[in-house]
């Protein structure tokens, strides 16, 4: 992020609207453009800018060079009352995920529990979006994971072994925002390297390997995409990433990470999975949510270490940022707006409805 | 572990047999004694001695002082085709878990998927035992978690916040041993403190807090049970532990960690959960297991960091130790045998059938 950049506040619907118009102009259907745009804008609204509309130009490029199918056709490969295997035919990860979440929720409501595995898909954005969508009606617990490009090393390994393979679990609360765990298997998100590079600040010594397979603390020795993440908690994060792959690539019958060797960009068919379970199969959902609330209150009431921040629950930061974005608009860097404007101009999108916010672009 | 202690090799069935006779002599039923003894011996066989027959004298004490119910009555509180909530009436964790696993497998075979939550139980031993039991017939994926005493701090917290709250997922392979992830939320198992104490070796600086709420590297400053674990991966391990509690205490309607404050020993009603899912609901199980095998081969083929150990899959060490124990007998410290002998003598157990191995006791 450049030093002279400013952050602009844009209403959520406007962010979605402009991104949507751009994708439609690229030849993507209206419904699919909307699903993709909403997933990007929602990531921004939750403070996960790396997965937000900063990616619009990259999507445009990839539509242009035929990297993605503009249409996301989902074929059911195998199906039971609770299970579904879907082939996304190289369509959009967001669209495949949106539809998979809808299907998983529907089957869970009918059957009590449902699990969906998806293959031949693409990057699905922030995992927490999809588990949140499952838990948002307050009656279901939501689960998701996805494969990604190879980016995490094995605990004793010298190179790329597994993807960031995030796990997200969302659990409804009543008065508090829902609990939403969203963690990936690397010790630090790759996006944060930029900040260390900018400040020329050494990395902690358990975060990164260089392409030479050795631990590195030098943020300027390699290009961003050459660094390999050390897994969080070493064998624990690594092991979790391995078993999660058995639920994504494994159950969907899709591509495994063993087929990803040599690729460092997102150009491989990814696999996802989604789970939903009805709380009322176990106990009264209102009582359950009350217990979740009380547990959050318990966590909030615990003492902090001397000088340290208050204790927060999983998803609390994202929920706070999202509440603020709802009130005051989504924070978008002016450079990102400028890039969206360039994409809009390129495809002859009528941006008159967005003139006010585009004027805030650099 | 004392310096003059030796390790003895005992056949698995003999370890189970003597422990079983002791528990029967304490007034526990034969079937329940067998389930408890087998779970302890299996932990030893898998190299997890801290959860093995070293605990026999402690169980004996707890039967004596009425801490556990000798009978483990399981009442179904709520039930659907896939879900079950069980109340274990303060019975044995191993017995409740053994029966819950059987029920979960049965329901999963009938319904495709099953999830069981248990409340008012006690320590269930090593989580990996139960997920392994689910996956051992090669047709199901197994999942489990449990609460424990408060032992892990929040990332910025000064004291005990959550339990070790392990997660275990087991996935069947064909030629290789099954994958079995079994990780708890602390940065280091408490049992390992003994080794640091013995060698007077400083702890790594991100592993332990003292009861004063500050990070400590001094292994001899406090008693074993006064140290509090820092969560592995900080907010990641902590967050995972929090959402897992929503599947154990949460879904079972049992005691939450917020009710555990002030307790540092195992004397609180614990909650577990167990999940099982049929692989053939998604794809051909033989093809699935072949993919798992190939993925393991891929992991084994990855290069190690200079001077580091080969890359291993989750559960590989335990599987190797177990295969060796099957061939050559389970490794039991002679002091543990001596303690079992003392328990047997106290309860007038006829140990003539075990004379050979008891002679190896210190």
Residue segments in chain B with a per-residue pLDDT below the cut of 50:
1-2
Query: In sequence order, what are the residues at sequence separation of 6 or more whose Cβ sits closer than 8 angstroms to the Cβ of residue A240?
Result: A165, A167, A185, B167, B181, B183
CB atoms within 10 A of CB B360: 15
* Residue A205: inside a domain: no
Residues present in chain A in total: 362
Spatial contact of B325 and B8, defined as CB atoms under 8 Å apart: no
- Whether residues A233 and B183 touch (CB distance < 8 A) is answered with yes
pLDDT of B186-199, one tens digit each?
A: 998 777 888 898 88
> Which secondary structure element, helix H or strand E, spans residue A87, and what is its range?
strand A83-87
- Whether residues A83 and B282 touch (CB distance < 8 A) is answered with yes
Beta strands in chain B, from DSSP E residues, in sequence order: 7-10, 75-79, 83-87, 113-121, 140-146, 150-153, 160-163, 167-171, 179-183, 208-209, 228-229, 270-278, 330-333
- Whether residues B302 and A157 touch (CB distance < 8 A) is answered with yes
* Residue B209: inside a domain: no
Considering the domain architecture, whether residues B333 and B315 belong to the same structural domain is answered as no
Produce one character per residue of A308-317: b if its CB has 16 or more CB atoms within 10 Å, e if not.
Answer: eeebbbbbbe
Q: Nearest to residue B89, comparing CAs of B117, B69, B112?
A: B69
Q: What is the pLDDT of residue B205?
A: 87
Q: What are the tokens at B293? A: 């095998």
- Whether residues B256 and A294 touch (CB distance < 8 A) is answered with yes
- DSSP category for residue B341: H
- Whether residues A302 and B179 touch (CB distance < 8 A) is answered with no
* Residue B225: inside a domain: no
Q: Nearest-CA residue of chain A relative to B211?
A: A305
Q: Calculate how close chain A gets to B215, using CA atoms only, in Å.
A: 9
Considering the domain architecture, whether residues B130 and B257 belong to the same structural domain is answered as yes
CB atoms within 10 A of CB A362: 15
Q: Which of B85, B156, B283 is the closest to A85 by Cβ?
A: B283
- Residues of chain A positioned with their CB less than 8 A from the CB of B172: none
- DSSP line for B106-132: HHHHHHSEEEEEEEEE-----HHHHHH
Q: Nearest-CA residue of chain B relative to A294?
A: B258
Q: What is the mean pLDDT of chain A?
A: 93
Spatial contact of B41 and B53, defined as CB atoms under 8 Å apart: yes
Considering the domain architecture, whether residues A305 and A351 belong to the same structural domain is answered as no
Query: In sequence order, what are the residues at sequence separation of 6 or more whose Cβ sits closer than 8 angstroms to the Cβ of residue A308?
Result: B156, B157, B158
Distance CA A296, CA B276 (A): 29
Distance CA B15, CA B95 (A): 18
Q: Which of B82, B161, B242 is the closest to A314 by Cβ?
A: B242
Distance set, CA A112 to CA A130, A278, A286, B218 (Å):
19, 5, 17, 50
Q: Which of A113, A287, A302 is the closest to B113 by Cβ?
A: A113
Q: What is the pLDDT of residue A215?
A: 92
Considering the domain architecture, whether residues A336 and A322 belong to the same structural domain is answered as no
Q: Which of A82, A187, A283 is the closest to B253 by Cβ?
A: A283
pLDDT of A158-182, one tens digit each?
A: 999 999 999 999 999 999 999 999 9
Considering the domain architecture, whether residues B115 and B42 belong to the same structural domain is answered as no
Q: Calculate how close chain A gets to B237, using CA atoms only, in Å.
A: 8
Q: Which of B209, B236, B303 is the closest to A232 by Cβ?
A: B236
Q: Calculate how close chain B gets to A323, using CA atoms only, in Å.
A: 21
Distance CA A310, CA B175 (A): 49
Number of H-type helices and E-type strands within chain B: 12, 13
- Whether residues A250 and B213 touch (CB distance < 8 A) is answered with no
Q: What are the tokens at B118? A: 């248990």
Considering the domain architecture, whether residues A23 and A153 belong to the same structural domain is answered as no
* Residue A222: inside a domain: no
- Whether residues B243 and A314 touch (CB distance < 8 A) is answered with yes
Q: Calculate how close chain A gets to B288, using CA atoms only, in Å.
A: 6
Q: pLDDT-based confidence at A358, cuts 50/70/90?
A: confident
- Whether residues A82 and B111 touch (CB distance < 8 A) is answered with yes
Residues facing A169 on adjacent strands: A143, A181
Considering the domain architecture, whether residues B126 and B160 belong to the same structural domain is answered as yes
Q: Calculate how close chain B gets to A74, using CA atoms only, in Å.
A: 16
Q: Calculate how close chain B gets to A188, using CA atoms only, in Å.
A: 10
Question: Given a cut of 80, is residue A191 above it in pLDDT?
Answer: no
Distance CA A194, CA A244 (A): 28
Spatial contact of A257 and A150, defined as CB atoms under 8 Å apart: yes
> Which secondary structure element, helix H or strand E, spans residue A119, and what is its range?
strand A113-121
Q: Nearest to residue B295, comparing CAs of B314, B310, B323?
A: B314
CB atoms within 10 A of CB B327: 8
- Residues of chain B positioned with their CB less than 8 A from the CB of A312: 235
Largest interatomic CA distance in chain A: 57
> Which secondary structure element, helix H or strand E, spans residue B356, and what is its range?
helix B355-358
pTM check: above 0.90 = yes
Residue that the structure tokens 């318990």 belong to: A298
Distance CA B59, CA B236 (A): 34
* Residue A312: inside a domain: yes
- Whether residues B183 and A236 touch (CB distance < 8 A) is answered with yes
Residues facing A153 on adjacent strands: A160
Burial of B240 (0-12, 13-18, 19+ CB in 10 A): buried
The ipTM, to two decimals, is: 0.95
Residue that the structure tokens 């609460």 belong to: B147
* Residue A197: inside a domain: no
Structural domain including A139 reads: 72-186+231-326
Q: Calculate how close chain B gets to A293, using CA atoms only, in Å.
A: 11
Q: pLDDT-based confidence at A2, cuts 50/70/90?
A: very low
- Whether residues B302 and A249 touch (CB distance < 8 A) is answered with no
Q: What is the pLDDT of residue B268?
A: 82
> Between vectors from CA B242 to CA A303 and to CA A84, what angle results, nearest 5°?
160
- Whether residues A251 and B283 touch (CB distance < 8 A) is answered with yes
Q: What are the tokens at B218? A: 């001094």
* Residue A291: inside a domain: yes
- Residues of chain B positioned with their CB less than 8 A from the CB of A246: 141, 169, 171, 179, 292, 295
Q: What is the pLDDT of residue A266?
A: 56
- Whether residues A232 and B235 touch (CB distance < 8 A) is answered with no
Distance CA B276, CA B287 (A): 19
Q: Nearest-CA residue of chain B relative to A285?
A: B251
> Which secondary structure element, helix H or strand E, spans residue A100, and what is its range?
helix A93-111
Considering the domain architecture, whether residues A250 and A169 belong to the same structural domain is answered as yes
Q: Calculate how close chain B gets to A9, using CA atoms only, in Å.
A: 29
Q: What is the pLDDT of residue A264?
A: 55
- Residues of chain A positioned with their CB less than 8 A from the CB of B277: 115
Considering the domain architecture, whether residues A282 and A254 belong to the same structural domain is answered as yes
Considering the domain architecture, whether residues A165 and A235 belong to the same structural domain is answered as yes
Residue that the structure tokens 């614990």 belong to: B270
Considering the domain architecture, whether residues A144 and A256 belong to the same structural domain is answered as yes
- Whether residues A298 and B158 touch (CB distance < 8 A) is answered with no
Q: Nearest to residue A237, comparing CAs of A266, A265, A267, A206?
A: A206
- Residues of chain B positioned with their CB less than 8 A from the CB of A253: 282-283, 287, 291
pLDDT of A276-293, one tens digit each?
A: 999 999 999 999 999 999
CATH number (domain holding residue B265): 3.30.1370.60
Which of B181, B237, B316 is best to mutate for the A interface (most A CBs within 10 A)? B181
Residues facing B113 on adjacent strands: B277
Considering the domain architecture, whether residues B163 and B51 belong to the same structural domain is answered as no
Q: Nearest to residue B185, comparing CAs of B147, B140, B213?
A: B147
Q: Calculate how close chain B gets to A168, using CA atoms only, in Å.
A: 9
- Whether residues A156 and B314 touch (CB distance < 8 A) is answered with no
Q: Which of A161, A179, A252 is the closest to B246 by Cβ?
A: A179
Which of B134, B152, B156 is best to mutate for the A interface (most A CBs within 10 A)? B156
* Residue A199: inside a domain: no
The alpha-carbon radius of gyration of chain B (Å, integer) is 21
Distance CA A31, CA B344 (A): 72
Query: What total number of domains does chain B contain?
Result: 2
Counting Cα atoms < 13 Å in the Cβ hemisphere of A328 gives 11
């Amino acid at each position: 992020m450049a030093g002279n950049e400013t952050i602009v506040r844009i209403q959520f619907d406007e962010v979605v609207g402009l991104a949507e118009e751009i994708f439609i102009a690229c030849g993507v259907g209206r419904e699919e453009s909307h699903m993709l745009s909403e997933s990007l804008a929602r990531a921004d609204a939750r403070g996960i800018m790396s997965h937000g509309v900063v990616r619009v130009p990259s999507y445009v490029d990839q539509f242009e060079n035929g990297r993605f199918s503009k249409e996301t056709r989902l074929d059911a490969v195998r199906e039971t009352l609770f299970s579904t295997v879907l082939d996304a035919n190289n369509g959009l990860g967001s669209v495949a995920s949106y539809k998979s979440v809808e299907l998983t929720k529907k089957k869970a409501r009918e059957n009590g529990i449902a699990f969906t595995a998806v293959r031949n898909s693409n990057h699905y954005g922030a995992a927490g979006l999809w588990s949140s969508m499952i838990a948002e009606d307050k009656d279901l617990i939501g689960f998701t994971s996805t494969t990604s490009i190879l980016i995490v090393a094995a605990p004793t390994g010298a190179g790329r072994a597994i993807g960031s393979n995030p796990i997200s679990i969302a659990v409804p609360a009543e008065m508090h925002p829902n609990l939403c765990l969203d963690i990936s298997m690397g010790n630090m998100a790759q996006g944060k390297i930029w900040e260390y590079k900018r400040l020329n600040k050494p990395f902690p010594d358990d975060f990164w390997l260089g392409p030479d397979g050795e631990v590195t603390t030098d943020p300027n020795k390699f290009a961003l995409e050459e660094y390999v993440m050390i897994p969080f908690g070493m064998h624990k994060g690594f092991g979790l990433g391995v078993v999660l792959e058995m639920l994504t690539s494994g159950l969907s019958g899709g591509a495994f990470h063993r087929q990803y060797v040599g690729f460092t960009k997102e150009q491989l068919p990814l696999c996802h999975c989604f789970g939903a379970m009805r709380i009322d199969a176990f106990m009264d959902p209102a009582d359950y949510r009350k217990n979740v609330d009380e547990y959050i209150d318990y966590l909030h009431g615990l003492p902090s270490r001397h000088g340290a921040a208050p204790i927060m629950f999983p998803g609390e930061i994202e929920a706070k940022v999202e509440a603020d974005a709802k009130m005051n608009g989504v924070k978008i860097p002016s450079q990102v707006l400028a890039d969206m404007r360039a994409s809009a101009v390129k495809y002859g999108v009528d941006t008159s409805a967005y003139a006010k916010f585009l004027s805030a672009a650099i």
